[in-house]
Amino acid sequence: MDETPMLRTLLVQARLNWKNPAENRGHLESQLAHCEHVFDLAVFPETFTTGFLGDPDLPSEAMDGPTVDWLRRQSQLYDSALAGSAVITEGGKRYNRFLFATPDGEVRHYDKRHLFGYGGETERYSAGHHRVVWTYREWRICPQVCYDLRFPVWCRNRGDYDLLLFVANWPRGRVQHWISLLQARAIENQAWVVGVNRVGEDGKGVNYPGHSQVYDPLGVLTADLGEKEESRLLTLDRGEVARNRATFPFQDDADPFDMAPI
């Protein structure tokens, strides 16, 4: 077994169409098709089918709906995991759900814990209650959605992940927070951090500046996609996680804690 597998990660910094799931799926499908290299994981922004809070007058989607089916098909086509969040209805409640489709047909999920009350998300969706970590191609991946980035306890590495993966609709007015917090999460958790944001303007006039980024386990910036629509392939080395933690064993001095039931 390879002790330090690489993860070829495609960041899809896309311009999303407001309230148009079919058009967004088609656009993202074309983004994948234009990638000239093999990838292990492709990452789309938050609410990639509708835009943030762009679903109120659209039909509800469930886990057997067109978006999840599309993710499965694309995952199998490219023999790659596909990740991003979409609005999913389950048990009469709507969730901002991080979806993670793998080539074996499985679709794992994480429901966004920290709903953005300032923007009205708490009025529309239900919060998730469970922090999760998935293993994929020997990588341990912790998924997070947008506003979760502001809450370091929820993101805290307890020796259980190698990659902290954020998808977002993060607006231009607070983009410096996005950049600073992504770097902070990498430094404090000694893990790779990948954050994929959208570009363009939504139906409410909110502008999104992109700046999808990748930080290594030392907190060094290895990619910034700028402000234009772009897909870029980065190769992440899991060995850097182990080497960093062995050289700088800061986690040995971390405070132990348990999360109270939510």
Catalytic residue among 61, 121, 142, 146: 146
* 46 is known as an active-site residue: yes
- Is residue 240 annotated as a catalytic residue, yes or no? no
Closest among 91, 85, 90, 92 to 109, alpha carbons compared:
85
Judged by DSSP in three states, 259 sits in: coil
Backbone angles phi, psi at 236, to 5 degrees: -100, 140
Of 61, 112, 121, 142, which one is the catalytic site residue? 112
Distance in angstroms (rounded) separating the CA atoms of residues 105 and 113:
25
List the structure tokens of 176: 């410096």
How far is 22 from 173, CA to CA, in rounded Å?
Answer: 29
DSSP 83-123: EEEEEEEETTEEEEEEEEE-TTS-EEEEE-SS--GGGTGGG
Q: Is 19 a catalytic residue?
A: no
Residue with tokens 């790779």: 192
**What's the chain's Rg over C-alpha atoms?**
17
Catalytic residues: 46, 112, 146
